[in-house]
């Protein structure tokens, strides 16, 4: 190894030490604790799979994540598709409308949804005031509110991912289809949609992974009534101090995320997209 290479290696050492000691080791400790706390063995996992409460939490997490992902992807695709076809001036305005919620703190967004959806909130007051409904609707502190908040949180990510993917599609392919007499609907279903499948897959993967482990928005907009995995773990470590159950659930969550990434990494299209950023 030349002295130049030794220097280069040396430059990577601080980052390596920091991540291994203060990221990898704490997470490995979580995995280890799930088998040793309070006693050695698989007791936590037996408890986890046998518990009706945890079963409910897992079911809620899966339903909310699935609905969020489907809604986010369909709605984001509609926006991204329109973005690709917009004139530059309109596109600037539209991208600005995506960027503001993208960069605003997640807490500000959750709080905004509370002021809108609450019983005496902006939406209910407007609807009751206009006489459209007699009684205020229950729009928040239930699954509906959580899903609205989560879709709103995820959409900017998905739009930016899908927009990047769609703007890479060669416009000459669309021209070719049109000159061969394909109608707009046919062009959409037979050209655009197949070519955007890799982008759709990546965006869905990210949204599913973010949703499964999401704490902030479900906790605020669910207010304990829509208990998802992350909030359940947080209750275990901060109030009931059941470290065994908390670490076993964390391990399972990590395993599910790892499996999703592993499956995605096997597909050639996704692998190309992931390695795109690499030199």
Shortest Cβ distance from residue 9 to other proteins (Å)? 5
- The beta-carbon contacts of 197-201 under 8 Å, at least 24 apart in sequence, are 197/269, 198/165, 198/269, 198/270, 198/272, 198/273, 199/161, 199/162, 199/164, 199/165, 199/166, 199/273, 200/73, 200/77, 200/162, 200/165, 201/264, 201/267, 201/269, 201/270
* Region 250-269 residues binding other proteins, contact defined as CB under 8 A: 250, 253-254, 257, 261
We find the least distance from the C-beta atom of residue 230 to other proteins, in angstroms, to be 4
Cα–Cα–Cα angle for 76, 214, 110, nearest 5°?
A: 70
User: Which window, 38-46, 137-145, 174-182, 231-239, contacts other proteins (CB under 8 A)?
Assistant: 231-239
Distance CA 212, CA 141 (A): 19
Number of amino acids touching other proteins (CB under 8 A): 85
- Say how many C-beta atoms besides its own lie within 10 A of residue 54's C-beta: 19
Q: Are 205 and 260 in contact (CB under 8 A)?
A: yes
Tally of residues, the chain: 279
Q: How far is the CB of 211 from other proteins (least distance, A)?
A: 10
Using CB under 8 A, which of 53, 99, 259, 269 touches other proteins? 99
**CA–CA separation, 224 and 205 (whole Å):** 27
Nearest approach, Cβ of residue 3 and other proteins (Å): 6
Give the x-and-dash track for 119-148 against other proteins (CB under 8 A). Answer: -xxx--x-----------------------
Q: How far is the CB of 158 from other proteins (least distance, A)?
A: 11
Among residues 54, 58, 98, 140, which is the contact residue for other proteins, using CB under 8 A?
98
Name which of residues 29 to 88 contact other proteins (CB under 8 A): 29-30, 33, 75, 78-79, 81-83
Of residues 163-222, which lie at the interface with other proteins (CB under 8 A)? Answer: 184-185, 209, 212-216, 220
Smaller CB distance to other proteins: residue 18 or 263? Answer: 18
């Amino acid at each position: 190894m030349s002295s130049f290479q030794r220097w280069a290696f040396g430059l990577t050492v601080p980052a390596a030490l920091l991540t291994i000691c203060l990221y990898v080791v704490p997470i490995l400790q979580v995995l280890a604790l799930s088998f040793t706390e309070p006693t050695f063995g698989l007791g936590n996992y037996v408890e986890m799979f046998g518990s009706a409460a945890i079963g409910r939490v897992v079911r809620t997490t899966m339903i909310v994540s699935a609905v969020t992902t489907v809604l986010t992807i369909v709605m984001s695709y509609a926006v991204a598709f329109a973005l690709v076809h917009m004139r530059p001036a309109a596109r600037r305005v539209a991208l600005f409308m995506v960027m503001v919620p993208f960069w605003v703190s997640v807490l500000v967004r959750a709080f905004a949804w509370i002021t809108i959806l609450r019983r005496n909130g902006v939406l209910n007051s407007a609807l009751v005031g206009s006489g459209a409904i007699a009684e205020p609707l229950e729009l928040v502190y239930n699954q509906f509110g959580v899903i609205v908040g989560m879709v709103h949180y995820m959409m900017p990510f998905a739009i930016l991912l899908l927009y990047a993917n769609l703007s890479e599609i060669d416009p000459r392919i669309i021209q070719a289809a049109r000159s061969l007499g394909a109608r707009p609907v046919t062009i959409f279903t037979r050209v655009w949609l197949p070519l955007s499948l890799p982008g759709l897959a990546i965006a869905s993967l990210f949204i599913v992974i973010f949703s499964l482990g999401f704490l902030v928005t479900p906790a605020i907009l669910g207010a304990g009534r829509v208990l998802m995995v992350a909030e359940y773990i947080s209750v275990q470590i901060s109030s009931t101090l059941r470290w065994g159950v908390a670490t076993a659930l964390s391990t399972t969550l990590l395993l599910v995320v790892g499996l999703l990434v592993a499956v995605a990494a096997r597909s050639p299209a996704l692998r190309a997209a992931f390695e795109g950023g690499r030199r």
